[in-house]
Amino acid sequence: MAIFKGAGVAIVTPMNADGSVNYEKFKDLIEFQIAGGTDCIIVCGTTGEASTLSHEEHLDVIKYCVEVVNHRIPVVAGTGSNSTETAIYLSQEAEKYGVDGVLLVTPYYNKATQNGLYKHFKAIADSIKVPVILYNVPSRTGCNILPETVVRLCQDVENIVAIKEASGNISQIAHLAAIAKGCVDIYSGNDDQIVPILSLGGIGVISVLSNVAPQQTHDIVQKYLDGDVKGSCQMQLEALDLCNALFCEVNPIPVKAALNLMGMEAGTLRMPLTDMEPANVARLEKAMKEYGIL
pLDDT in tens, 233-270: 999 999 999 999 999 999 999 999 999 999 999 999 99
Radius of gyration of the chain from Cα atoms? Answer: 18
Predicted TM-score (pTM) of the model is 0.97
Say whether 286 is catalytic: no
What pLDDT is stored for residue 119 in this prediction?
98
Helix H or strand E encompassing 164: strand 160-165
Q: pLDDT digit of tens for each residue in the chain (294 aa)?
A: 689 999 999 999 999 999 999 999 999 999 999 999 999 999 999 999 999 999 999 999 999 999 999 999 999 999 999 999 999 999 999 999 999 999 999 999 998 999 999 999 999 999 999 999 999 999 999 999 999 999 999 999 999 999 999 999 999 999 999 999 999 999 999 999 999 999 999 999 999 999 999 999 999 999 999 999 999 999 999 999 999 999 999 999 999 999 999 999 999 999 999 999 999 999 999 999 999 999
Which of 25, 164, 223, 256 is catalytic? The answer is 164
Which of 25, 63, 118, 135 is catalytic? The answer is 135
Calpha distance 293→34 (Å, rounded): 17
Contact (Cβ atoms closer than 8 angstroms) between residue 186 and residue 168: no
**Strand 101-105 to strand 132-136: parallel, antiparallel, or no bridges (unpaired)?**
parallel
What pLDDT is stored for residue 1 in this prediction?
62
Question: Which one-letter amino acid corresponds to residue 79?
Answer: T
- Reduced to 3 states, what is the DSSP secondary structure of residue 163? strand
Q: Which of 137, 142, 138, 134 is nearest to 103 (CA)?
A: 134
Calpha distance 112→120 (Å, rounded): 9
Say whether 164 is catalytic: yes
What pLDDT is stored for residue 2 in this prediction?
85
Domains of the chain in start order, with CATH, are: 6-228 (3.20.20.70)
On the question of a cis peptide bond just before residue 138, with omega within 30 degrees of 0, the verdict is no
Beta bridge partners of 41: 9, 75
Cα angle for residues 135, 82, 97 (degrees, 5° grid): 70
CA distances from 153 to 118, 132, 200, 253 (A): 7, 11, 20, 33
